[in-house]
Structure 1
Amino acid sequence: MRSPGSIRIMRCDTRRGATRRRRRILCGLLLAAATAAPLLCALPAAAVEPPSRAEAILFTADTLSYDQERRVIKANGNVEAVQGDRTLKADEITYDETRDLLIATGNVSLTEPSGEVIFASQAEITGDLKSGVIEDLRLILTDGTRAAAASGRRTGGTETELTRTVYSPCDLCAEEPTRPPLWQIKAAKVRHDQNEKIVEFSDAWMEVGGVPVFYLPYFYQPDPTVKRKTGLLVPTFGNSSDFGLVAEIPVFIALSPQADLTLTPWFTTKEGALLEAQYRRELSRGEMKFDGSLTRDSTQKTRGHLFGEARYDIDERWRSGLDIERTLDRTYLRRYGFSDQQTLTSRLYGEAFGRTDYFVANSYVFQGLKSDDDNDTIPFVAPKLDYYHFGDVDAVGGRTDVHLDLAVLTRTDGTDTRRASARAGWTLPLLGPIGDLYTLSATLWGDAYHVNDLERDGSDNRYTGFSGRLFPQLAGEWRLPFARAGETSQQIIEPIVQGVLAPTFGNPSRIPNEDSEDMEFDTTNLFALNRFAGLDQVEEGPRFSYGLSWSYFGADGERASVFSGQSYRFFEDAAIPTASGLSGNFSDVVTAVDLAPNKYLDLLYRNRIDVGEAAARRHELGAVLGSELLRVGASYVRFDEENDDGTDFEGREELGFSLSSQLNRYWRTRIAGVRDLKGGGAQRDLGIRLTYEDECFLFTFGYKRTDIEDRDIEPSDIFYVRLGFKTLGTVGGGLRQRDGG
C-alpha cells in the first residue's frame, strides 16, 4: 500500500522545453521521492494529504527539490502548479504539505475555471488553489475588464475581497500608460462572489480623466458571466417641450431562466406618471414577447397600448403564432414615441410548410388611427385560409401552380363578405433557335362571393346575395438577351415583349372590392398578369407590354442598369383607377435606373411619365455619395395629386437629406432631415447627433425637431445626452430615444 501524499502531487513533465540537465535533476528528485515513499506510510494520511484537497497537485518547473523531513517542496523557474481546473504560475513556489499551503513569489498568476486571471507579486494559497491572501493584486475578468488592489483575500475559490481597489474596463494609453484611464472606479473595498455572481463596491467613487465626479457609499453589479439578473437598470433623464422633465427608472426581474419582466415607471412634470412593461419568455419550441404601457394623463384620460408576438413550432411542418397591436386611443403611440404606425394589425395564425406547398390560416383585427378612420367600417377577417402549391417540372418541361383562398370579412357597420377563390396556372419556358427565351402560360381563375348590404356604383342601390366569375388568361413572353463581354466588364441588352389574352369581363358590380383598392404601377409589376394588389379585382381585356433593359457589370464590382417599359391595352378597363398610370390605351412609361460606378456612389431612380400629356406623375430618387470620412445621402419623392376614383390624396413632394462623417476613430456625427416641398417648404423633421465611442465609453449629444400637428400631437423639440459606461450601463437620454434622434 503506497502513501497518498508526496508521490501523487508531483510528476515529471518536460513540456516547457527545459534543458536536458534540468530534466535529469527533476526526474532524479522524483525518483528520490519515490524511494522515500514507504517511509511515509507510517505517518497519518491527513498529515500527508489534507482532506480539503481531493485531487493531487501537479508541478512542472525548471528545478524541483523535496525536503522529506519538513515535507516541503520547492520549485523554481517557470513554475506551474495545476490542481483540477485551476492553474498557478510563478517564478518560485514553496509547498508545505503539512499545512497544505502554497507560497508563490514573482510574476504570480492564477487562472480560474471561469477564465478570470489574477496577477500578483506574492500569494499564499491553499493546496486546492481556492483560498489565500494575495499582495499587490491585479485582476482581468472574462470580458477584459481590469481591476487592481493593494491586497486581496480569496476564500473557497468563489469569493474574492479586495482592498483599496481601482476598477476600469478602459484600455490604458499606449503612449502614456501611467496616465489615468478615461474613467475608473475606486473603492475602499470590492467583493466578488462567484456563487451569487455579483461584484459589490463599498465607499466607491468614479473618476473621469483622473478627476472624481461622484461618490456612492455602496452599489453592486452582476459579474461578467451574468446575462440576466434581477435589479435596477440605469435610469434615464431628459427634457421634452411636450412633456417637460422626464425620468425613466427601469427595474429588471428575472422570473426564471426562461422568462423575465422589465417594469419602467416614467415620471413627467407635465403629463404625470406612466408605467411601461415588457415580458419575454422562451418556450421549448418557441418564444413570446409582449410590450405595453398605461397612464392617466393631465386631462385624467386613461391611455395605453399593448404590442406582442408569440411563435410556437408544433413540429417540423406546423407553426402557430400570435401578433397583437392595440392602443386605447389614436394619438397615444405617436405622442409618447412608441410607434408611428397609422394602422394596427393583430393576427392569430397557423401555418404549414411542405416541399412544394404552403398553407396558412389567419384571422385579423385592424385598428385605424387616422382622424378620419371609422373602425366600425373596418372589417374583422376570420378565417382567412390560403393554400399554395408549386408543382414539379412535368414531362414537357412545364410547371403548375395553384392558389386556393377562403376569406370571411365581417363589419359592425357596412358590407359583410365571404369569398372562395381558386387560381390555377401552368407555365412552360422554352429556348428559341437564336438564344431567345419564351415563356408560355395559361391561367384559370374562379371566384365565388356572398355579400350582405353591398353598395354598388356609388349609389344607394345595395345588393345582398351570391355572385361569381370565371376568368381565363393566356400569356406569352419573349426575351432576347444580347451579351457583350470585354476584358474587365460585361454588358447585357435585353428587349422584352409580353402579350396577354383575357376576356373583357371580370369585375361585375356584384363583386366587392375589399383588397384591391390601391394599385402601384412601376417596373416591378409591368409584366404581372394582375397588377391589382389583391384578388377581388382582375385586369380585363387583351394587352401587351414591352420594355428594354441594359445592364453593365465591372470586374471591380461596379454596376449599372437601366430599364424602361410601357403597356398597351386594346380596351379601356373601368376598374383601373385613372391616377394609377394604367388607364386608357397606352399606360404611362415607367423607368428605373440603378447606378453604382464605384464604392463611393450608389444611386437609384424611378419615375412614371404620362407620355400623352408629357407630364411626370411620379419621381423617386435615392442617392448615397462618399466614404466613411464624409457621406452624403439624399432622397426625393413626388407623387401627383389623386382627386378622382373616390380618393382624396393631395399628392406628396418631399426632400430628405443626410450628412454623416466618421471624423476619426472615436468621433462621428450625423445630420438628417425631411423637408415638405409641397406644404410651403416647411422642415418636417430635423435631427443632429454627435457621438464619441471607444472600448469603454459612449457619449451622444443630439437634438431632434418634429413639426407634426395632429389632434393632441404638437411640434416638439427634444434635447438629449446619452452616456454609456461599459459594464455599468447607459445614463442620460431624453424622451423618445427609441426614435433614434
Structure 2
Amino acid sequence: MVAAPVPSASIQAAPPAAPKKPVLPPALAPAKPAPAAPTQTLAVQSDPVPEGETLVDADSLTRDDDLGVVTARGNVVVVSGPKVLRADVVTYNTVDKMVTASGHVSLTERTLPGTPAPAQGPETTFADYMELTGDLRDGFVRGIQILSPSGTRLAALYGERSSQTQKKEFARGVYTACDSCSGEASPLPTLTGRRDGPRQPPPSWQVKAARVTHDEAEQEVVFHDAWIEAFGVPVLYTPYLSQADSTVYRRSGFLAPSTGSSDRLGGELQLPYYLVFDDHSDAKLTLQYTEKQYAILKGDLNRNFSRGALTFNGSFNPYDEDGWTQGYYASKATWHLDPVWRASLESSLTTRPVYLRRIDVSPPNNVDYLTNHLSLEGFGLRSSASVEGFYFQSVTEGVAQSGMTAVPLLADMTLLSDPLWSNGHVETALNSVVLRRPSGTDSERVSVGSRYSVPLRDGLGNEITALAAVRGDFYHVVDQTLDSGHRFDGSVARVVPQGGVIWRHPLIATGAGYSQVIEPKVGVFAALPDNNPDEIPNEDSRVVTLDVGNLFQPSRVPGHDRVEGGEWTAYSLRYAYAGDKGDVLDIEAGQSYRLGTDTDLFRAGSGLDHTLSDVVARIRYTPSAHLSMQYDTQLDHDSLVPQRHVLRLSGGNTLVNGGVNYLYADTTTTLDGDVLKDRQEITGFGATRVARHWVVSGAHTYSFDRNKSVRTALAVGYDDECLSIATTYTRDHTVEYDVKGGTTLMFTLTLKTLGSYSFSPSLGDSSS
C-alpha cells in the first residue's frame, strides 16, 4: 500500500496559525474560493466551510490510492454542513462514500451562520464506533450514547439511522432523565463472570428496552419490551411505552392514571388526557369515576394572549349519590387594553354548595362564598379609576343565598393634585355603588369628597400634618327597616366634614453600629357628631376594631356608610432600633380619648366603646434575616386584660423554615347587633430539608375555643433532576352539610419526562 498526501487542490484551508493541516477528502467537491465581499456591507459572519464541502482537521492525514481510502488520525474533527464529527481515527472510502470513525467518537451539530441558535443546544451522540454516509446523516453506530439538550440520556448496544424512513433504531436501549450518579464506583460484571472495570451506581430510575425506535417525523420515542427500574431494581414491565422526543415542548396524549380512596368519594379512578391546541393554549380533561359520586368529568383550560390570559377549570357530575346533576366552575381572565386600562374577570359558581364539600374543593382564599367579579381599571401618574361588579354565592352551611348581596356597580375614581404649598396635596375621590338582594334592603350610593393635607416642619424637629376633608353622600334606599320598626323608601343625603392635626417629634440617636428613634405622636380630630342617619343602610361598616394601623385615621370606622363624629384625640409612643447587622426592633403603643361616647357606633369589643379607649400596641422584631416576628394586641383600658392577640412568627433558612400564627379575639358585637363569639386559634407550620433531595413538612391548626383540632397536614417529599416522590397526609376535622372532612393519604410518583402516578389508599372514617 502506498500512502500519499492529499493534493493541495483538494484542501480547504483552516487558519494558518494552527500546526495541523485541515484537508478536504478528494472525493468531495474541491474548495472554491468565495468572492470577496465589501467589508462595509457584510451583514453576517461567513461560514468557513462553503456549502457542499467538508472540512477535516487532524494531526496527520494519509491517502491510499489503491484502496481509495483517506485516513485522518489524532484529534480528528470533520465538519460537513451542520454536522461535526470528532474521533481519534476517521477514514473515508472514496468508492463507497462512507465514513468510519473510532475512538472517543462524538457527533453533534453546529449553528450555521445566519441561522438562530437552538434554545437548548444541540443533541450529542457518543459512540465506540460509527459507520456513516458521506454527509454524516445516516449509518450504523456501536456502543452508542445520546445526550439530549434537555439532559436526558439514551444508551444502546448499537443503533442505525435511515433518512428514507426518518427513524433511528436502537438495540438493547437504556433511557433515563437522571444525571450520572455520584458515589463510589462498583465493579462491572463481564460476560465471563469476572468483575473488571468500574461502574457507578444505577440512576434513580431508568427504562431498559429490547428495542427503541425514534420516529423523527412523528417526534416520538417508542420502547418495546421495556422494564422500568428504580435504583437498579425492576419494578414495572410494559410491552409498549412511548413519549415525545426532546424536540417537543408539549404534546397531546393520555397522562398516567391515578387511583385511590377517600371518605368523601370512596374508591376512585382518574384518567386524564392532555390536549394541546397551539403554542399559547392547552387543556386537560379528566374522567373520574368514584364509588359514591359515580362519573365526574373535570376540565382545565389555559390560554395566553398577547395582552392577557385566561384560565378555566370545572367539573360536571351527571348523577351524584342523591340523584342530582351537579357542576362547578371557576375562571379568571385578564386583558390589558392599553398601557393605562386593564379589564379582568373572575367567576365561579356551583349547582349546590354540598357538591364542593363532597369533591373537596374550597373557594379561593378559603372564604365562605364564591365570587363573580368583573372590572375595568385604569391607572395614571396621579389618578386611578375602576368600574366593577360583584355577585356572590354562599357555600357555607347556615348562610342563606337570600341574604347574599349582589353589587351590579361599584365605581371609584381618585385624583391627586401636583404638590402645592409646603408639599401639600389635594385628593379628590368619587365613589358609587349599587346593591341588590333577593330579599331585604336595596340601595344606591354616590359619594364625592376632597381631602387636603399639608406637612409642616420647624427648625426644632417638630413635624405637623394638618388635614381637612369634606364629603357628600347621596343614598336612594328601598325597604330599609328603621330602629323604630318602620319601613323607609326614599332618598337621603348628608355632608361629612372632618379635620385634624397630627404632631410628632422624632428623637434620633446613633451609636457604633446602631441607631435609635423615640417618637411621641399626638393627633386631635373633629367631625360632625351624630352624622349616621337611621335611613342610611349599613353595608360596609359592620365591624369596628381599633388597632395601631387606624389609631390616627380621621375615622376609625371602615367603609363609607358609617362615620365617626365628635371630638377625640389619639396619642402614641414609638421606639425603633436598627443595627448594622440587619436587626430591627419597632414598638408602638397608643390610646385615644373621646369627649363623648357613641354606643350606637362603637359596640362592645371594638375598643372604642368608652370615652377612654383600650390600649393598642404593635411589636415588630427582626433579629436577623432568618427570623421575623409581629405581635398586635388590644388591652382593656381599665384592667389591661387582653382583648385581642395576633402573633405572626416566621423564620428559617434553606435547610429549616417554619412559623406560628396565633389569634385570640374576645367577644365582639357588630353594628348590626350580631355577637361574634370569642375565638382562639393557633397554627404551626414548618419544613426541613433532611437530606439533599429529601424534604419533610407539616402544618397543624388547633382551636382552643372549640377544644379540638381543625386541620392537620404532613408531607414527605423527594425531588431530584429526574424523580419526584411525594407522600401527603391530611386530616380535616370539620363537618359541614353532614359531610366530614375525613383523612387522606396520597402517594405520588413522578418520573420526569415519562409522567406521574398517584395513589390514595382508604384509611376509613377517621375524622370523627
Fold match (TM-score > 0.5): yes
Is 1:274 matched up with 2:281? no
Secondary structure of the 2:596 match is coil
Aligned to 2:357, what secondary structure does the other structure show? helix
CA contact (8 A) 1:188 1:203 kept: yes
Kindly tell me: are residues 66 and 431 of structure 1, through their superposed partners in 2, closer, same or farther at Cα, counting changes over 3 Å? farther
Is the 8 Å Cα contact of residues 62 and 71 (structure 2) preserved in structure 1?
Answer: yes
Distance in 2, matches of 1:32 and 1:95, equals 10
Question: How far apart, in 2, do the equivalents of 1:66 and 1:441 lie?
Answer: 96
Could you tell me how far 1:366 is from its partner in structure 2?
1.0
**Partner residue, 2:176:** 168
Deviation string 1:595-632 (CA, Å, 9 cap, x unpaired) is 22235543221111112243211111222466555555
2:581 and 2:374 mapped to 1: Cα distance?
48
Partners in 2 of 1:31 and 1:257 — Cα distance? 44
Q: Which structure 2 residues correspond to residues 508-547 of structure 1 after superposition, within 5 A?
A: 508-547=533-572
Cα deviation 1:474-524 (Å, max 9, x = unaligned): 222122222222222222222222221211132111111111212333222
> Are 2:691 and 1:664 aligned?
yes
2:422/2:455 contact within 8 Å kept: no
1:47 is aligned to none
In the alignment, which of 421, 440, 452 is matched to residue 414 of structure 1? 440
Is the contact made by 1:12 and 1:60 (CA closer than 8 Å) also made in structure 2? no
* TM-superposition CA deviations, 1:184-205 (whole Å, max 9, x none): 1101122223443322111111
Partner of 2:12: 11
C-alpha displacement at 1:326, in angstroms?
1.0
TM-score, normalised relative to structure 1:
0.90
Question: Are residue 441 (structure 1) and residue 458 (structure 2) matched?
Answer: no
Change (3 A) 1:384 1:600: closer
Describe how 1:362-441 pairs up with structure 2 within 5 A.
362-441=388-467
Q: CA deviation at 1:691?
A: 2.1
Which of 183, 205, 225 is matched with 1:183 structurally? 205
**1:712-736 superposed Cα distances (whole Å, 9 cap, x missing partner):** 3214111111212122222124399
Identify the residue that residue 564 of structure 1 maps to in structure 2.
589
TM norm structure 2: 0.87
Displacement after TM superposition at 1:37 (Å): 8.3
Displacement of 1:639 in angstroms is 0.9
1:572-613, Cα deviation, whole Å (9 max, x unpaired)? 233233322122212221111122223554322111111224
**Structure 2 counterpart of 1:711, from 714, 733, 737:** 737
User: Once the two structures are superposed, what CA deviation does each residue of 1:47-89 show, in whole Å capped at 9, x if it has no partner?
Assistant: xxxxxx9632222222334567876543222222223333221
- CA deviation profile, 1:663-708 (whole Å, cap 9, x unmatched): 22122222321111111x2122122222222332222223221110
The aligned counterpart of 2:114 is none
**Counterpart residue number, 1:328:** 351
| 1:142 corresponds to | 149
Q: Tell me whether 353-362 or 597-606 shows the greater mean CA deviation.
A: 597-606
User: Kindly tell me: are residues 278 and 6 of structure 1, through their superposed partners in 2, closer, same or farther at Cα, counting changes over 3 Å?
Assistant: farther
Note if contact 1:449-1:466 (Cα within 8 Å) is conserved in structure 2.
Answer: yes
Whether 2:505 is the aligned partner of 1:505: answer no
Distance 1:732 1:30 in 2: 57
1:656 partner letter = T
More displaced 10-residue stretch of structure 1: 375-384 or 344-353: 375-384
Please state whether the residue corresponding to 1:572 is helix, strand or coil: coil
2:605 is paired with a residue whose SS is: helix
| SS of alignment partner, residue 218 of structure 2 | coil
Per the alignment, residue 42 of structure 1 pairs with: none
8 Å CA contact 1:562, 1:591 repeated in 2: yes
* Partner-residue secondary structure (3-state), 1:334: helix
Q: 1:55–1:414: structure 2 CA closer, same or farther, 3 Å change rule? A: farther
1:203 aligns with: 225
What is the correspondence of 1:616-635 to structure 2 with a 5 Å cutoff? 616-624=642-650, 631=657, 633-635=659-661
1:638-677 equivalences in 2 (<5 Å): 638-643=664-669, 645=671, 646-677=673-704
Q: Is the 8 A contact 1:438 1:479 kept in 2?
A: yes
Q: Provide the rounded CA distance (Å) in 2 between the counterparts of 1:65 and 1:537.
A: 98
Q: Which residue of 2 aligns with 1:151?
A: 158
In structure 2, what is the equivalent of residue 227 of structure 1?
249
Equivalent residue number for residue 95 of structure 1: 92
**Residues 215, 221 of structure 2: 8 Å contact kept:** yes
Deviation of 1:36 (Å): 8.8
- Correspondence for 1:315: 338
Q: Does 1:251 align with 2:260?
A: no
* 1:252-310 deviation per Cα after TM superposition (whole angstroms, max 9, x unaligned): 11122322221111122233221111112122321111110111321212222110011
Instruction: Give the Cα–Cα distance (whole angstroms) in 1 for the partners of residues 94 and 417 of structure 2.
Output: 78
Partner Cα distance (2:727, 2:459) in 1 = 65
Kindly indicate whether the alpha-carbon contact (under 8 Å) linking 1:347 and 1:363 is maintained by their aligned counterparts in 2. Answer: yes
* Counterpart amino acid of residue 13 in structure 1: A
Deviations 1:235-261 (A, max 9, x none): 222221232222222111112232222
- Residues 27 and 94 in structure 2, CA contact (< 8 A), matched pair in contact too: no
Which of 36, 54, 59 is residue 57 of structure 1 equivalent to? 54
Which deviates more, 333-342 or 214-223? Answer: 333-342
Which stretch has the larger CA shift, 102-111 or 571-580?
Answer: 571-580
Letter in 2 for 1:662: R
- Name which of structure 1's ranges 495-504 and 6-15 shifts more when overlaid on structure 2: 6-15
Distance 1:233 1:714 in 2: 31
The question of whether the paired residues in 2 share the 8 Å contact of 1:173 and 1:181 is answered with: no
User: CA separation of 1:403/1:188 partners in 2, compared to 1, >3 Å: closer, same or farther?
Assistant: same
Residues 627, 417 of structure 1: alpha-carbon distance in 2 compared, 3 angstrom cutoff:
same
SS where residue 464 of structure 1 aligns?
strand
Name the counterpart of 1:107.
104
Q: In 2, Cα distance between the equivalents of 1:8 and 1:571?
A: 108
| 2: CA distance, partners of 1:565 / 1:719 | 48
Q: Is the Cα–Cα contact under 8 Å of residues 31 and 53 in structure 2 kept in the other structure?
A: no
CA distance in 1, matches of 2:740, 2:337: 47
Match of 1:120 in 2: 127
Assess, with a 3 A threshold, how the Cα gap between structure 1 residues 36 and 395 changes in structure 2: closer, same or farther: closer
DSSP 3-state at the match of 2:356? helix
1:302-334 deviations in whole A, cap 9, x for unaligned?
222110011112222222121101111123323
CA contact (8 A) 1:385 1:406 kept: yes
CA distance in 1, matches of 2:27, 2:607: 98
Q: 1:257 to 1:695 in 2, by over 3 A?
A: closer
State the SS of the aligned residue for 2:423: coil
Q: Name stretches of at least 5 consecutive residues in structure 2 with no aligned partner.
A: 1-5, 33-49, 111-120, 186-198, 763-768
Deviation larger for 343-352 or 592-601 = 592-601
Do the aligned partners of 1:252 and 1:262 also contact (CA within 8 Å) in 2? yes
Distance (Å, rounded) in 1 between the aligned partners of 2:100 and 2:289? 57
C-alpha change, 1:32 and 1:323, in structure 2 (3 Å) is closer
What residue is the counterpart of 1:286 in the other structure?
308
Instruction: Tell whether the 8 Å contact from 1:203 to 1:218 is kept in structure 2 after alignment.
Output: yes
Amino acid at match of 1:102: V
Question: Deviation digits for residues 428-460 of structure 1, max 9, x if unmatched?
Answer: 112221222221211111111111111122x53
In 2, the alpha carbon distance for the partners of 1:490 and 1:447 equals 47
Hey, what's the Cα distance between the residues in 2 that align with 1:110 and 1:266?
47
Whether the 8 Å contact between 1:33 and 1:66 is mirrored in structure 2 is no
What is the rounded CA distance, in whole Å, between the counterparts of 1:563 and 1:130 in structure 2? Answer: 75
Q: 1:460 to 1:729 in 2, by over 3 A?
A: same
Tell me, yes or no, if the aligned pair for 1:393 and 1:399 is still in contact at 8 Å: yes
Aligned partner of 1:731: which letter? Answer: Y
The number of aligned residues is 709
The farther-off stretch of 57-66 and 647-656 is 57-66
Amino acid corresponding to residue 650 of structure 1 in structure 2? K
Query: How has the CA–CA distance of structure 1 residues 724 and 450 changed in structure 2, closer, same or farther, with 3 Å as cutoff?
Result: same
Q: Secondary structure at the residue paired with 1:580?
A: coil
- Call closer, same or farther: CA 1:505–1:55 in 2, change over 3 Å: farther
